[in-house]
Amino acid sequence: MNIDKNNILNLLEEKINVSLYPLKMGGEVNEKSLKELLFLSEEATRLFKHEALVPKKLLSEIYLASVGIKIENEFINSKLLSEVSSGMMNCFNLILSGESVDDKKEIGPRII
């Protein structure tokens, strides 16, 4: 799968159709498609890390999918759904702050 700035939104929308809508309609958890959805969200953080302008539709799709999965998880109580929802929300926040999932996180204070 070739992922770039021009097709990430279409790929994300397709994966939401495959993973989120069956979950909302019948409680069907498709682990593979949910993990691919999270992967696409993480890839979006890499693609838009240094961009001053980010498509509002991309941010909206990531945010709404994350919230939708979180709401469904209140009824299903799945660890996978919890991880995907929080991971996607993290991706949303990283894109807004101009960071990516590959950036190193400071674990604690540095002593000099």
- Give Cα 83 to chain centroid, integer Å: 10
pLDDT band of 47, cuts 50, 70, 90: very high
Task: Please provide the average confidence, as pLDDT, over all residues in the chain.
Answer: 92
**Domain ranges for the chain:** 8-97
> For position 112, what pLDDT does the model report?
62
Token pair belonging to 106 = 């400071």
pLDDT at 110 over 70: no
> Which of 63, 102, 103, 101 lies closest to 85 in space, CA to CA?
63
- Reported as type and span, the H/E element at residue 59 is helix 56-76
Question: Is a pLDDT exceeding 90 seen at residue 39?
Answer: yes
